[in-house]
Structure 1
Amino acid sequence: MKKIVQMFLVISIISALLLYATSKLNSSQGFTSSDTLTIYNWGDYIDTDLIDRFEEETGIKVIYETFDSNEAMMTKIEQGGTTYDVAVPSEYMIDKMREENLLIPLDHSKLPNLKNIDERFIDLPFDPENKYSVPYFWGTVGIVYNSKMLGGKEITSWEDLWDHDLKNQILLTDGAREIMGMGLNSLNYSLNDTNEKHLQEAKTKLDSLTPNIKAIVGDESRMLLETQEAAIGIVWSGVASEIMAENEDLEYVVPKEGSNLWFDNMVIPKTTKNVNAAHQFINFMLDPEVAAQNTEYVSYSTPNKAALEYLPEDVVKDERFYPSPQLTDKLEVYKNIGKKKLARYNDLFLEFKMHRK
């Protein structure tokens, strides 16, 4: 026990020294908190040329850090050790961060480019009047499949995945909300359902899918689908777009029973020490040409309506990734279902994973 405590103390001291050294280095180069901006975003989720451009245009130094889950991001901000000025959480996490008083309200007078956002992505339930957040990217959760490997078989619904001919052909993403949501949607329940009976039904149905599941994976799904190790993957639309560019035999569909409509959003955490620079950066990213360049790099769908005219016509007219309002109106945004119910989702998902073994 004493060794663990000593190790923890050593790690804490090293972290503090690194933070101090970084601070001194920035100061020695003429940068202070007033002209430094620290951004916390998902990995490989911005065109870094745009960061260079922002620094050149504003004289503000950008420190860029990444996270791999909403939960990890929120925990780091809660701890308050790093003064993040801009973060990019998903919609349900914004609701949780508001509850925990981890965000500051946006000053819309400093965001004139907010007018460029498509009206259907403004004033959503997770952040009424966009008091705390601005849309960054959006998309769906759906099914990508290799029509050639499936002998021309077409997939249009979640229910199609239970076909006995698909044995050992499906990759599931390692996410409780996504996979429990798939189970619920396949039974025509809401993917935000918290009824215990419905949750048990969804878990039982997922158990019956086990023979068709090749693996439950994270980012590896891209490689496995590209190399035809599996014919089907449950993925986010942006991932589908990326891998489809590498293989013309791949198709993407949003299942007819329904699915998730997700949003990643720019916010200003309570940890900020540079509110003005945070607003400058958010407004910069809302510029139509900037948003278009970022969209071409990331491959996800932009909520910036004005940016669409700067994107290739075949991209913006592809309804797989820019679905019509008629379809998006049928999809559901993840709601903040509370810690207790989220824990129940996680427990059932873990039971499902253990059942496969």
Structure 2
Amino acid sequence: MKKTIAALAAAVIFVTGAISPSAAAETSGKVAPKTGVTINVYNWGEYISNGVDDTIDVNKEFTRRTGIGVNYTTYDSNESLYSKLANGGANYDIIIPSDYMVSKLIQEHMVEKLDFKNIPNFKYIDKRFRNPQYDKTNEYSVPYTWGVVGIFYNKKYVKEPVDSWKILWDKKYAGKILMFDNPRDTFGIAQKRLGYSFNSTNPEEWENAAKLLKEQKPLVQAYVMDQIFDKMSSGDAWLAPYYAGDAATLVKDNPDIGFAIPTKEGTNFFVDAICIPAGSQHKKEAEAYINFLCDPEIAAANMEYIGYSTPESAAKELMPKEMVENPIFYPDENIMKNSETFVNLPEDTNLLLDTLWAEVKMGGPGQSATLVAVLCGFLLLYIGIVVYKKVKAKRELQ
């Protein structure tokens, strides 16, 4: 999805009496001897506690306790993760995709079954997060974080209640509205406005959602991801849907910014889960890493830093009340009941979504063909120039 630092100040941790990240590290015992094994971890950007501002450095602490090294790299979308895996571009041992991508990877046999004997800390995962729709047998994944989608808004300019996705179509905010730069989240908003399921397989419903997004496009300043933070903070944009876990910093740092979860139509309840890609060279060590992330002390310190919600009640007990009682991080049950999780779509629906998304981004039907024609024209021109230069060079040699 999607990630940016959303932490409370370190001082809050000490004031509330919750265990500090550094204290969590100190309880771990002796330094383990090096194993000579390094696992490759591929995660969202800014989605793990890294030692900044006296927080725990999760990867270093894992190495200290186990002797297993960590090579840590990041991606910015589920789709880029999938592309990297599908193309065989790298050898990863840990990945953290979102719910619908987990189910896609399971269906395409791109992730390994987990040996839960090596993950005893799975016992701390709350029952409501077990056997999820995206991994019904709970054989391939362990929940890492969860959250819901809501709307950032500028209180200086948006005075009405932000309780419906409809506000993102309000013409008086033309040029001040941002939208997600990915199809599932953007179409999901339109689908909820129309009363459809996120996981519909009805082509007509997807086309109706695309029509609604095309009607909105003249009002949209830009389709973005993490850029919303700069645009909202500067006042350049006034309305932007985004993930609740990223709300803390923006709301805390700027009193003009509010965050609301639309209650009239419902929202997306997402889970990011830890998986092991098929063909991992260090599966046992990767399972040790998953087990480490599920340790309540580590999970609590980690969630305090990244700002997302934990699937472990045991971890919540170690976190500041300001976080666990904050409805941004832990919405009330009525909101949760009116939320829905993405799952992987059938291939024909995915192809339709890709086509419709291209049309929305480029302004309407027929634009895809126009773009292809223009690109082909440039390609032919380039080939012509190359051929001309070769012929000219040959003549000069003669």
- Does the aligned pair in 1 maintain the 2:178–2:240 contact within 8 Å? yes
Q: Distance in 1 between matches of 2:178 and 2:324?
A: 28
Q: Distance in 2 between matches of 1:221 and 1:323?
A: 22
Counterpart of 1:43 in structure 2: which amino acid? G
Question: Which of residues 223, 234, 248 is equivalent to 1:216?
Answer: 223
Aligned partner of 1:9 in structure 2 is none
Aligned partner of 2:43 in structure 1 is 41
Aligned partner of 2:170 in structure 1 is 163
Alignment of 1:1-357 (within 5 A): 32=36, 35-48=37-50, 49-150=57-158, 152-256=159-263, 257-355=265-363
Secondary structure of residue in 2 paired with 1:191 = coil
Q: Distance in 2 between matches of 1:229 and 1:189?
A: 32
- Does the aligned pair in 1 maintain the 2:247–2:328 contact within 8 Å? no
Q: Distance in 2 between matches of 1:129 and 1:330?
A: 24
Instruction: Give how far 1:291 is off.
Output: 0.6
Counterpart of 1:160 in structure 2: which amino acid? I
Runs of 4+ residues over 4 Å off in structure 1? none
Instruction: Give how far 1:200 is off.
Output: 2.1
Deviations 1:193-236 (A, max 9, x none): 23222222222222222343221112211110111111110111
Counterpart of 2:236 in structure 1: which amino acid? E
**Comparing 203-212 with 328-337, which one deviates more in the overlay?**
203-212
Q: Distance in 2 between matches of 1:81 and 1:189?
A: 37
Deviations 1:250-285 (A, max 9, x none): 222222201211111111111211122111111110
Q: Distance in 2 between matches of 1:345 and 1:106?
A: 32
Counterpart of 2:40 in structure 1: which amino acid? T
Counterpart of 1:248 in structure 2: which amino acid? P
Secondary structure of residue in 2 paired with 1:154 = coil
Secondary structure of residue in 1 paired with 2:340 = coil
Sort the Cα spacing of 1:271 and 1:82 in 2 relative to 1 into closer, same or farther, 3 A. Answer: farther
Instruction: Give how far 1:162 is off.
Output: 2.4
Sort the Cα spacing of 1:201 and 1:83 in 2 relative to 1 into closer, same or farther, 3 A. Answer: closer
Paired residue total: 326
Counterpart of 1:312 in structure 2: which amino acid? P
- Does the aligned pair in 2 maintain the 1:136–1:263 contact within 8 Å? yes
Q: Distance in 2 between matches of 1:81 and 1:181?
A: 30
TM-score under structure 2 length normalisation: 0.78
Secondary structure of residue in 1 paired with 2:339 = coil
Counterpart of 1:186 in structure 2: which amino acid? R
TM-score under structure 1 length normalisation: 0.86
Any gaps of 5 or more consecutive residues in structure 2?
1-33, 51-56, 368-398
Counterpart of 1:116 in structure 2: which amino acid? Y
Superposed CA RMSD in Å reads: 1.9
Instruction: Give how far 1:50 is off.
Output: 1.1
Q: Distance in 2 between matches of 1:207 and 1:100?
A: 32
Counterpart of 2:294 in structure 1: which amino acid? L
- Does the aligned pair in 2 maintain the 1:172–1:233 contact within 8 Å? yes
Instruction: Give how far 1:31 is off.
Output: 6.3
Sort the Cα spacing of 1:100 and 1:168 in 2 relative to 1 into closer, same or farther, 3 A. Answer: same
Deviations 1:117-146 (A, max 9, x none): 122111111102321000011111221111
Counterpart of 2:80 in structure 1: which amino acid? A
- Does the aligned pair in 1 maintain the 2:35–2:67 contact within 8 Å? no
Q: Distance in 2 between matches of 1:176 and 1:103?
A: 24
Percent identical among aligned pairs is 36
Secondary structure of residue in 2 paired with 1:209 = helix
- Does the aligned pair in 2 maintain the 1:147–1:154 contact within 8 Å? no
Aligned partner of 1:23 in structure 2 is none
Q: Distance in 2 between matches of 1:110 and 1:169?
A: 50
Q: Distance in 2 between matches of 1:234 and 1:165?
A: 17
Of the two, which has the highest radius of gyration?
Answer: 2
Instruction: Give how far 1:347 is off.
Output: 1.6
Any gaps of 5 or more consecutive residues in structure 1?
1-29
- Does the aligned pair in 1 maintain the 2:131–2:138 contact within 8 Å? yes
